[in-house]
Structure 1
């Protein structure tokens, strides 16, 4: 590339940056002018933005850009001079012009851009030629007042805004936060050292008193040497005390100042990731306006709390769910102007986006003044899709009915369009919000609109967490993802269908061992109260029994080494204030693990006190492609104390056998992907699994099939057509004994 080409390329980059910045000014100003065409400040700001782009395009040599910007400037100047009143048609053309200027600034604008530019400039000229004069022409504005209006539209940058901006990669910011967090933790170690100095000072004082007593006793002694040694020891001790006191004062001052500095460094590093909420809303007002126009509706977006500080990662991940909720509000919430008039509403619909901070959380509300949700329509949709019976639906509360809108594929829209109806994609919105350790709720008033309430952390780098002990190790639950914490009396635990439950506010909640869930050794205590952490999925709440509550803490989340990959149930690591490492739990993963554990069937009891852990149950793997047979065999074996895992075919069973330990394999013969004979053959060829007892349970009761199974290596063959409950259990008892080892 020649120097001229390099210079041109850099100029084009500069023009592209200016086009992006001026486009934001034009989009915001034009949306205001659509509602208030006579706003002199915004007219001046938009005209200056178009004028700046015209000059910049001329410098870079983009004649097509000069053509578009010049046509836009002419139209805006005419509006300034009162020769026309800006109508929605003018705003459409001007907004299209801002899009075209940004497109021209791209290195590869495309072959069809020239024709689009000609059409656009012709349209702008036609709109200028057939201008509708303003009913109240704008008065002549003196130069001084015009300058003042421009200053109002574009306020002078503050000293902070004029400061030099330095571009730093996100990786370096993350590394800075990591180091500042570690420095803060390291400085906490000053406190034990300060405490040890205080102990030393007390010991010296005790020694001084002892020497004083010895000196008093030696005063009457005839030994002058003894008196001299005691006096010398006393003087040396006093000197040591004075030095220690001076050093301790210096140390305390250093520790206090150093602690303040490291805390400030840490806070500043975290603040460097924060951006105003408005930075994540670029183009949203324009998007809603254009969408409303395409649907024949008048809609405006009002934003409150634009300066709320939010982590840049949260802003990036919020873009998709926010866009979806805003589009839904326009498409399925706000009514057509004629219908709004009949209801006594303003023709222009209003969508409100409010952002605020509360207790370290970002609280968002997206509401519209539209038609709300027809609950009767929801009831019919639930029954039609067979999610529940008509009798069950009739007894559901409004919150329970609205929860169906967050199920995958559930929609109230009668047709598929580019803009989804209320319900389509809300499961994706909920998934994205929960992935950011947040939650979303829907409220509505029929005929008056809907409101989505979203809570999520202000930053993904810092998490407010409940620290607990599980298996003697520290783990952290993000507070935003837990329902509550409580202490449960062992006498309140009840047995229901082989599982432990307890009642809480008229809801029965399943009880599980967190140690079993995380596959670590549980340390039992002698207390009567069991610490419980409640987590909830869509349908129900689960209680996880932990060993102790260690308190709440604000943790700097540190990602684990990439070479470890995604560790099940773990979101990342952190350090407590005393330097203790802690693993931060991924609650969504935990809920999946809960589902798998419930499917496997065997749950450790959490109500025994102290003592040794009971003997582990023997584990059986049931492999069958029939759901009915799998569940029948699983429940029979569970009733006798065996742990049971299931697999849907031979391939699934083979993977399970290689990953976990089992005491017995029960398999069918006819299955997809890998049949039972192949599975048994592989087991007998594997050195680790060669001695594993194998039982074949098959519908085939012919001697030939029995011989094939036994020749492949099965230890027992049982025909499904003839076996009964006791026959299966007796066979298992014969092969591996009872359920407890």
Structure 2
């Protein structure tokens, strides 16, 4: 590359940086002018931005940019002088010009060429509007890519671009003495935050040491009192002088130890306090380096809301509070997609047409409000629209139409239970697919992305007044505030963001309802489950009179998880698990406690799914009235076979291994047993009178209560097509009687449901 080419490339890069800044000013100003076309300060700001871009485009030789900026400037000057009143069609054209100016010098040649192709049409359109003529209909087509699709930018490139831009602004202001900006890679910032967070946790390890020294001090004080008692007793007894000398030396040495220990404790206490303060300051400073204002995630969102509304024949605006709220850069980047989903959803499903809003006594322009704030170490986002809310009758119809539930059941559901269907994968209330919605990709994707951030989302609505979404995500993903508990003699941590409450249950508070242990919590019965069973840990000892319970919730699903004891709240540095382990069930990450003890951070969402699986198989452990965790009863197996010999052989084999066995003479007999009793496994033949094994398996898989019940087919038919027929019907295992032997059957049973006692 020649020096002239390098110079040209550098100038184009400078123009791109200036275009990014000035088009942002134009977009914000034009959106404000659409609501108040005569706002003098916004007119002035937009006119200056267009004028600056015209001069910059002329310097770098972008004639197309000069033409667009010039005609935009003429329109804005006309509005300033009162010769032109900006209407929505003017704003549309000026925003299209803003898009062209942003992309006209784009590094991607295809995008730049596409932008330049739209210049003649846009210039003619703006000139027609300026002259008071109607523009050509073809000019109404969008001239730039949809602003809702944010470009995929490499984090390193983005970081460097921001730093360069800031450096140039500082240089142009002539400020070289303070707040100098340096380019630092994102990787080094991550390392700095990692080291500082570990230093913060390490500094907390001094507190247990101080506590142990305080205990030693109390022991020495007790020893001193004992020696004083010995001295008093010696004064009344006749001890030889040598023994009295030893006693005096012992009292003197203990006194000296107490004095030295007191001094060391005081020094260590001061050092611990200062070290903790410095570690906290270091961590806060390192975290601040990664923090960005919430406004950084809002780039183009107000424009997207406005443009999407106009494309749907609606009028909508976005109001944001808390734009300066600081959030970790990684969290902020991952929030952009779910926020875009929610905003598009609010415009498409929430905001009504101008006619409908007039009839409802509302302003024609709909308003979407977004509030960002800090609360208890979390970022809280509240997004609310003043639209129509959710039509619960239409929602019920959609649930029934998609065969997600029966009409009778849906009619009995509460509002919260109905709204939970909106978060199901593939669910949509749109009957036809449009460019905006109807594909069933929406709130379920939002919920998934929020959960990946270890956060939560809930929805509220009032019909005719709008919907409200409440999101909570951590300010940073490097540390997590957790409740540490003991399960099976080991430490585990529940992220506080996923805990509804921690409480202690008296044994008499536990009741049996529908065969499950439950307790009364905030006006409803909540199921009680054993943490040791969920995590497959040995039963721990509970010496207390009450049971420690952590209440976890996801929308309308809540459970109490019984643990051995509470250790307390801790701030833990998140240590990701080795990716070679894959997804570990019920666990999200690791950490270290203050004393260096390893602790696993639990995945509460995964735990809720594990509880549901246990409920479906009715294999939940019970907690006895004394608070001890007890294992389940013997697992029950149903043997269905029309051959008496086979039934008896299989029954004796299973009884010998400790299973509880029931038998049925054919498929119909087995089906009746399954509907009236609980079983952990079904072993069935295929050829039987009244109902064969294939029909039985099919019925089991169609029953919502039994569809997860393991089923084994044992048949004399050893042909591949018979085996395929059984497995296609839904059987989990196929065993041919021709190759049947004792261990083969028992091994298969263990593979499917484990040992007789779980």
Per the normalisation by structure 2, the TM-score is 0.74
Aligned to 2:413, the other structure's residue is in SS state coil
- Distance in 2, matches of 1:15 and 1:123, equals 25
Q: Which residue of 2 aligns with 1:105?
A: 105
Aligned mates of 1:664, 1:128 — CA distance in 2: 77
Counterpart in the other structure of 1:469: 486
Task: Indicate how the Cα distance of structure 1 residues 90 and 710 shifts in structure 2: closer, same or farther if over 3 A, else same.
Answer: closer
Aligned to 1:417: 434
The 5 Å alignment of 1:66-215 reads: 66-110=66-110, 111-130=113-132, 163-195=179-211, 203=220
Give the conservation status (yes or no) of the 8 Å contact 2:57–2:63.
Answer: yes
Distance 1:311 1:157, change over 3 A: farther
Q: Does 1:53 align with 2:53?
A: yes
CA distance in 2, matches of 1:740, 1:228: 68
The 5 A counterparts of 1:642-681 are 667=714, 676=723
**Matching residue within 513, 522, 540 for 2:539:** 522
1:324-723 pair list within 5 angstroms: 324-420=341-437, 425-494=442-511, 499-504=516-521, 507-537=524-554, 540-607=557-624, 667=714, 676=723, 709-715=736-742
How far did 1:92 drift?
1.3
RMSD over aligned CA atoms reads: 5.0
Q: Distance in 2 between matches of 1:739 and 1:227?
A: 71
**C-alpha offsets along residues 31-88 of structure 1, whole Å, 9 cap, x if unaligned?**
1111222222222222222223233333333332233223322322333333322222
Worse-superposed segment, 293-302 or 575-584: 575-584
Q: Helix, strand or coil for the counterpart of 1:572?
A: strand
With over 3 angstroms needed to count, the CA separation of the structure-2 counterparts of 1:237 and 1:416, relative to structure 1, is closer
CA distance in 2, matches of 1:629, 1:639: 15
Q: Distance between the aligned counterparts of 1:514 and 1:266, measured in 2?
A: 34
The Cα offsets for residues 675-732 of structure 1, whole Å up to 9 and x where unpaired, read as 659999xxxxxxxxxxxxx9977xxxxxxxxxxx3443444999xxxxxxxxx9xx99
> Structure 1 pair 714/115, CA: closer, same or farther in 2 (3 Å)?
same
Other-structure match for 1:136: none
Q: Which moved more, 1:30-39 or 1:330-339?
A: 330-339
1:138 equivalent in structure 2: none
Q: Please state how far the C-alpha of 1:567 moved relative to its aligned partner.
A: 1.8
Q: Is the 8 A contact 2:640 2:667 kept in 1?
A: no
Tell me how far apart the structure 2 counterparts of residues 592 and 358 of structure 1 sit (CA, whole Å).
28
Change in 2 beyond 3 A, CA 1:613/1:590 = closer
* Secondary structure of 2:47 counterpart: helix
User: Following the alignment from structure 1 to structure 2, what is the Cα–Cα distance between the partners of residues 422 and 451?
Assistant: 22
Question: Matches of 1:630 and 1:51 in 2, distance apart?
Answer: 85
Instruction: Find the aligned partners of 1:242 and 1:710 in 2 and give their Cα distance.
Output: 83
- CA distance 1:5–1:290, shift in 2 (3 Å): same
Following the alignment from structure 1 to structure 2, what is the Cα–Cα distance between the partners of residues 205 and 524? 33
After alignment, is 190-199 or 50-59 more displaced?
A: 190-199
Equivalents in 1 of 2:754, 2:109: separation in Å? 76
Does the CA-based 8 Å contact 1:72-1:124 persist in structure 2?
A: yes
Query: How far apart in 2 are the matches of 1:104 and 1:184?
Result: 48
| Native 8 Å contact 1:501 1:511 kept in 2 | yes
Distance (Å, rounded) in 1 between the aligned partners of 2:214 and 2:588: 40
Task: Tell me how far apart the structure 1 counterparts of residues 224 and 92 of structure 2 sit (CA, whole Å).
Answer: 89
**2-side partners of 1:160 and 1:334: how far apart?**
49
Q: Using the alignment, how far apart are the partners of 1:12 and 1:344 within structure 2?
A: 51
Structure 1 contact 621–665 (Cα < 8 Å) conserved: no
**TM-score in terms of structure 1 length:** 0.75
Residues 1:29 and 2:29 aligned together: yes
- How many residues matched? 664
Tell me which residue corresponds to 1:658: none
Residues 572-625 of structure 1: CA distance to partner in whole angstroms, max 9, x if unpaired?
12233343322111112222222333445533333275999769957989999x
**2:6 matched to 1:11?**
no
Moved more, 384-393 or 179-188: 384-393
Instruction: Please say if residues 492 and 601 of structure 2, whose CA atoms lie closer than 8 Å, have aligned partners that are also in contact.
Output: yes
- From the superposition, tell whether residues 622 and 313 of structure 1 become closer, same or farther in structure 2 (CA, over 3 Å): farther
Give, in angstroms, the shift of residue 179 of structure 1: 1.6
Displacement after TM superposition at 1:99 (Å): 0.9
Paired residues of 1:512 and 1:544 also in contact (CA < 8 A)? yes
Consecutive unaligned residues in structure 2, runs of 5 or more: 135-168, 642-665, 685-692, 698-709
Matched with 1:318 is 335
